[in-house]
């Protein structure tokens, strides 16, 4: 048996095609695994309506009068004094309407205090970002 007889052109093409097919399978496997591990960059919208829904009713109603579909980041409402004082920081707030809560001088902050079981607005001011 000669070398030429063992590796004729039909066998050579078959080997090349088989190796190419194997390489394609390996490549697809690695691509699939990288996507399964988070390779696809999909960001979650961190502005959530739940951060508004968890506010006390009187504060939530004030927000809803300003914006029909309010959403906020986790840092929008800061609680202190055993939840008797709430500071809303509007740099962490998003509203679909044209209302703007930030100016060049800073963003709106509102301080609410609980007295008699209800929250009342103590003061509002613009604080630098």
pLDDT tens sequence across 58-71: 999 999 999 989 99
Query: By percentage, how much of the chain surpasses pLDDT 90?
Result: 50
Residues 74-95 as b or e (16 or more Cβ within 10 Å = b):
eebbeeeeeeeebbbbbbbbbb
* Structural domain for 15, as ranges: 3-39
Residues 59 and 89 in one domain: yes
Residues 72 and 111 in one domain: yes
The total number of structural domains in the chain stands at: 2
Residues 30 and 59 in one domain: no
pLDDT (0 to 100) of residue 43 = 60
Q: Is residue 5 pLDDT above 80, yes or no? A: no
Q: Is residue 44 assigned to a domain? A: no
Q: Is residue 22 assigned to a domain? A: yes
Residues 58 and 118 in one domain: yes
Residue 110, phi then psi, degrees to nearest 5: -125, 135
Ranges 27-41, 69-83, 110-124: which has the least confidence: 27-41
Q: Is residue 10 assigned to a domain? A: yes
Q: Is residue 121 assigned to a domain? A: yes
Q: Are 109 and 127 in contact (CB under 8 A)?
A: yes
State pLDDT tens for residues 24-48. Answer: 676 666 665 555 555 555 566 688 9
């Amino acid at each position: 048996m000669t070398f030429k007889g063992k590796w004729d052109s039909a066998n050579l093409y078959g080997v090349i095609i088989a190796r190419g097919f194997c390489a394609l399978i390996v490549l697809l496997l690695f691509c699939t695994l990288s996507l399964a591990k988070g390779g696809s960059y999909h960001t979650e919208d961190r502005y959530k309506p739940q951060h508004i829904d968890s506010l006390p009713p009187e504060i939530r109603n004030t927000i809803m009068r300003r914006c029909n579909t309010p959403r906020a980041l986790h840092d929008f409402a800061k609680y202190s004094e055993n939840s008797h004082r709430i500071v809303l920081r509007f740099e962490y707030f998003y509203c679909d309407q044209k209302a703007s809560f930030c100016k060049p001088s800073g963003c709106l902050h509102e301080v609410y205090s609980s007295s008699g079981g209800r929250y009342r607005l103590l003061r509002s001011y613009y604080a630098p970002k």
